[in-house]
Structures are given as structure tokens and as C-alpha cells.
Structure 1
């Protein structure tokens, strides 16, 4: 087992430093207008006038901050600092708080809505920058954004967080995160990506309100979001936590399993951890329904029609490895280590672009490589695959 882990660690570190990080440093840095370009197509065509998304920028900030914290290379600090300045100087709304959903290629506000998911990622990036550098400005803005979410998105009556609001924090009709999402008031995905940054913020800021809300988020996943019969996570809800739309997202299941566990560990609440850990195993095992030995993790199951989207997306494979590695590390599940290594072999064979750098969007169910969707863009970022590499490096260093 130690030999397997050591080889896996060496391989992912090599991919991180030679394939993933250089792509973003060399191809996505916008030297003309500042920050980072908004898009490179799946055919490796730069689109310099594309809008620049808050999620992309915040994920670049998190990735390079984490890389600098672990590997101490000055070029990673430079990219992380560039991203930090973009979040604070261009994406942060100095009048109303929060961050804009997007800016144009010149850095001016474009879509000014307050998508809570994006604010969560800004917190995630800023807190990681603080962990890496000790920069107090980054921590200050992360705390500001935490208070924005709590002041405007938290539902004090029925619990949980709404999806989106206008720039001025008023209600809006279309709260969808993306065109493929349901227009419901609450979602698993947004709660997962509030849990994630709140966990990182609590590592560095032991605030009592934050502790209470992070604990509450863990409970929400167990009490409201989890389907206790199937052990899958339900995806969309109305204000009263009534489940809408019968879709199973295998990637989100496996990702949530380890992020929920991480939150409980960081809270250091033994009672909560004792209650949560069986669910961590259950959720990851439920996700395994979508795992193809030697073939990676499929995308989604649409329960109403029993149809499956069997494409193997880059981010789902990355989270699959971390979820299984978490089961091996904390519960001595050797089968999960075997599955993680199988998934890594699939990634090396079908998703990593060994010629141009970075990873392709997906490997299609028909066996072809998806070069239609972005190589880098609004949703295609270095965070899932970069984080997978760094989780393995850090967990077994």
C-alpha cells in the first residue's frame, strides 16, 4: 500500500507541476488587460475578449495559493497574488458588497448579480491565500464576504441559503447557477460550496458565528439534503426543503462525502464527527453505483426516465479520486485505494492532454475525447484536478 501511495503521489505531483499549473501561468495570464483571460476553447483557441467569471478567477486564486503553500515556488505566489488583486480590485462590489458574477475583458462589471456560490468561492480563494502568505487584506475581505452571505442569503426561518440575489441584494426571478440547473431557491451544490469555504475560513478565524453556521451546514447535509433511503444527495429544493427534480449526480456525491468529513474534522466536534462518519462512507458507497472499474465515474442518472449521462467529466474523476483516497486514509478501506488508482489510470489514458497541457473536458460515452467544450473558461478551471493532486501530496507527505 505504501508503494502504491508513493507512486501515486509522485505521479500526481508531476502532472500538477508540468501539466496543470504551467497551462494557466503561460496561456491564461492576460498581460494586456490584467488578470486572466476568460476562455480557451477545446480546440486550444484563445478567446481574448471573453467575459471573465468570478468562479474562474476565485478558483485560480485558490489553486495557486494552495500550490504556493505546499510547494513554495515564487511563480505560484505571483499568479496567486494576481488573482487575489483581481478579486479585491475588480470583482468585489465596493458599493454593495459581495462579488460580481462576471466582468468584461477590460475588467469592468458585466453581470452584477450576487450568486452565492461565486461569493463562496471568493472566500475559498482568499482564505487559502491567507493560509499561504499570511496576508491580512485577504482575510479581511474573506470575513466581509462571510458576513454578506449571512446577512443576505441565510434563511433564518426555514434554514439554509438562497441561490442568488440582485446586485443590491434584492430578490430575483432567475436564480439558476447555470443553464443546466433548475431554477429553485435552494440547491445542494450551493450549500456544498458554502460548506467548503466556511471550513477553510474556520481554519484561520475561530469565530463563534462561523463555527455555529459551519456546524449547521454539516447538519443540513445529513438532515435535509441526504436521501436517507438511497444515501444519494438530492439536488434542488424549494424554500421548505421539499425535493425537486430526481437526478443523481455521482460526482457531487463523492465530492460531498469528503468535504462533509473535512468540515466535521476541522470543527473538531467529536459528537458531530461520530454521527457524520457513517454517512461519509454511505454517500461515497452510493456514488460507487456510477463507477465503472477501469472506466471512471459516469456523470448523472435521471431517475424519472432511467437514462444515464455516461460521459466521464474531468472534475468528476478528480473528485472520485479524493473521495476514495479519503475512505482509504481515514477508514483503512483498501478497495477504495484500488478504485482511486483505477480512476487515475483512466485519467492518464483519456483526459490529460499530454501535448498541449491541462485536461480535456470529458471522455464521452462513445469513447471519443470531448474537444467541443472549453479547455479553460467560465466553468473549466484548475481547481478540481489541481486540488486532487494537492490533496494526495498533502495527505501523504
Structure 2
């Protein structure tokens, strides 16, 4: 397939043009896939321990299972043997023990059925459903239909142009909260849903989410993304001040999310250009500004390499561990903006970030990536105790050589990445 935005903009010396780099990305992707297969368990997929094995008390995890369906779907589309059965296993789990047959929606884990139903989880289930549907996996269309119905019935707020956050199991007791993280992953899901279903409403929703959070909220904050609001859109500056290492809603601001919003914004722009030939002019500007802020405030903020986890409201380092997903999303943002603009600065960052990942995060002893390390590159467990899952790292090996639009799975079906 032809990416109308990228090929002529990539510098001739870009790593992305080099066959050796593409082969390295492919090899790293295969290594990650082999490692992640161990997370398969009865009822879905579970979190691996630091040694790469399932702990005895491992539980099937709804978020991980949905992510694995998506990741192994991408691998199946690449033609990697052994991945389709893992997609089938995950879909069966999402239609089986992880699905709430009484009230609809999905459990984070079947052992805690009364946990709140989070938009974050349901965005990944919708993404998994879109990926499985594209593959033609049995149950994929059913999963997609159930997930889109839940998003439209309970989570999407037409008035606000965002996703609501969470509910009790029976969909009562809506949480007094609006969050950037769940809406960020909902943007990714909406882009995939638009491409796989052909329903442009999902692209319109992705556009509205990005407009609200990126253009209206991050812009006036020096393109640093405030994440926590109540339902009246009052910024909660002290939210989780006593839980600074929360894995989904940490105190302060998260530079890795600035980068993630950056590459999603340019993907929304590309989807609009692909559909209509026009997109709002602010999208490219805001995407570049987001990544600039992510790197300015997140990279080596304490004087040592790596993107830190959070900053405070004065843009000073707060939680300084280097989470694997932060580096992966920064890589993806750098390469997406490189493809979009051809700017050599993004090539420099793309190489620097991969060099850091190769040195500090790739685990050659136990496999996969270390989930987080400290400033000196030692394994840390302040935020994430277990091994990194497949989702962020594997996508970082796939995204560099695919167009900005359509979504990754559809792009993989239409092209060969090596």
C-alpha cells in the first residue's frame, strides 16, 4: 500500500529506510512474541513475573487478555506461525469467563467480579474485537459487536465528546471523574473501529476526544497533559497526591502520555486526510508540541538518560523510574512525526530512544523487556512489579514501518513490514 504522507518525507539516511534496521525490528518483535506466549493461562492471559514465568497465584487479566488478542492478531497478519491459536484463546476468554453475562461488559479479573467497570479496559476489548474481526476469528464479530454496544450505550458522552470513566458492575453509580488516560486509549480504539467497521462515527469520536484533551486542555498547559478532572471538568490538581506511583492515575503529569497523545493526534490527522483530504491545521502543530514537551520535561529530567514516569505541576521530576511503555510510546511518536515531517530532529530522537531501550530495557537473560528501571538502569518495582506485557513494546517494533493510517492491523494486512 502507499502512504501518501510518508515515503518522500523520510530522509534518505533514516534508519527506517535501512533493511538492517527493519530486520532488527522484526527480530525484536519475534523475540517479544515468543516471550509473551508464556502468559497464556486458563481463562485468558496473566501477568508474567520478572523471570518470565507465570506466578502460582496468577489470575486471568481482562486488560492483558484484550491486549494480547490485539498483539497476536498483528503477529498473525505478519504471517508468524503459532499466533492465531493465541488470538482464538483470548477471544474465547473475553466471550467466556471475562465477560459479565449478567450485566454486560468485562471483568478486570473473574475473581473480583464487583470491581468497577473501567473505560480503560473496555477500550482495549473494543480494540481486540476489531483485530479479531479483521482476522475472521470465530467469535471476533460477536466480541466487536458487544464491545461497540457497550461503548456507545454506557461510555460515550455525546454532549462532552469524551468517554465516561467507570461504573459499578450493574452500570449504576457513574464515577465523578473524567480522565485523560482512558480517553487516550479510547482514541486508539475509535480509529481501529472506524477502519474495521467502516462507520465514520468512530473517526468523528476520535477527532472530538483529541480536540478536547489535546487542543483545549493540553494546549493552554504548555502542551503538558493534565489528566484528572471531575465530571464538571474542574482540574483535580491534588488527585492521588498520596499515590504518586499509581499505575493508571498517578499524581501530576505523565510525559509518556504527552508522547502517546502526540502520535495518536497525528494518526487522527492522517485518518481525516485519508478520508477527506483535509484535516484541522492545529493537529500537526499540537502533535509536535506535545512530543516537544514530553522530551523537554521527561527525558533525562534528573540528569540521567531515559524518560521519567511523572512530573509535578512545576514541571519538575516527581517519580523518576523509567517505565518501559514510556520509552516505547516516545519511539512511536518520534517515528510517526518523522514520517509526517521529515525533520532530522525526530530521526535523532528515534535513534536515541532505541539505543536507550536496547541498553536499559531489553532483557536478554529472561526475555521480554524490563517493566521499569531506575535512573542507573537497575530493575525497579516502584510502579510495576511484574514483567512488561506485549502491547507497548511490540507495537513499537511494528509502527515504524507502517503508514500513519489506516490502523496497524489493517495496514499490516495490506503491506509487508520487512
Q: With structure 1 as the length reference, what TM-score do the two structures score?
A: 0.86
- SS at 2:96 equivalent: helix
Q: What per-residue deviation string (whole Å, max 9, x for no partner) do you get for residues 83-103 of structure 1?
A: 111112222222322111212
For residues 168 and 34 of structure 1, do their structure 2 counterparts lie closer, same or farther at Cα, with a shift above 3 Å needed? closer
Aligned to 1:217: 209
Q: 1:39 aligns with which of 23, 42, 47?
A: 47
- Find out whether 1:4 has 2:15 as its counterpart: yes
Is the contact between residue 295 and residue 343 of structure 1 (CA under 8 Å) also seen in structure 2? no
1:17 Cα deviation after fit: 0.6
Secondary structure of the corresponding residue to residue 226 of structure 1: helix
1:151-208 superposed Cα distances (whole Å, 9 cap, x missing partner): 2123344442221101111115xx5xxxxxxxx5101101101111110010111224
Say which of 355, 379, 395 aligns to 1:387.
395
What is aligned with 1:202? 194
Contact 1:265 1:273 (C-alpha < 8 Å) held by counterparts: no
* SS class of match (2:35): helix
**Counterpart among 152, 170, 179 of residue 150 in structure 1:** 152
Give the distance between the partners of 2:402 and 2:214, measured in 1 at CA: 27
Unaligned runs of 5+ in 1: 176-183
Alpha-carbon offset, residue 110 of structure 1? 3.4
How far did 1:136 drift?
7.0
**Counterpart contact for 1:40–1:375, Cα < 8 Å:** yes
The alignment yields a C-alpha RMSD, in angstroms, of: 2.4
Q: Does the C-alpha gap of structure 1 residues 321 and 212 become closer, same or farther in structure 2, counting only changes over 3 Å?
A: closer
What secondary structure, in the 3-state scheme, does the structure 1 residue paired with 2:259 have?
helix
Displaced runs of 4+ in structure 1, greater than 6 A? none
The reply on whether 1:300 has 2:300 as its aligned counterpart is: no
Question: Which blocks of at least 5 consecutive residues in structure 2 are unaligned?
Answer: 1-11, 239-251, 404-416
With 331-340 and 157-166 compared, the bigger mean Cα shift is at 157-166
How far off its partner does 1:121 sit?
0.3
d(CA) in 2 for partners of 1:326, 1:3: 13
User: In 2 relative to 1, CA 68–43 (structure 1 residues): closer, same or farther, beyond 3 Å?
Assistant: closer
Which whole-Å deviations, capped at 9, do the CAs of 1:354-396 have from their partners, x for residues lacking one?
01111111120244222674344xxx42000011001124347
Alpha-carbon spacing, 1:90–1:332, altered in 2? closer, same or farther (3 Å)? same
Say which is worse superposed, 312-321 or 286-295, in terms of deviation: 286-295
* Contact kept? 2:35, 2:52, Cα under 8 Å: no
Q: Shift in Å at residue 212 of structure 1?
A: 3.3
Gap change, CA 1:88 and 1:389, over 3 Å in 2: same
Name the CA shift for 1:223/1:348 in 2 (closer, same or farther; >3 Å): closer
- Work out the CA distance in 1 between the residues paired with 2:258 and 2:356: 20
Task: Tell me, yes or no, if the aligned pair for 1:68 and 1:74 is still in contact at 8 Å.
Answer: yes
Equivalent pair of 1:360/1:369 in contact (CA under 8 Å):
yes
Q: What is the aligned partner in structure 2 of residue 52 from structure 1? A: 60
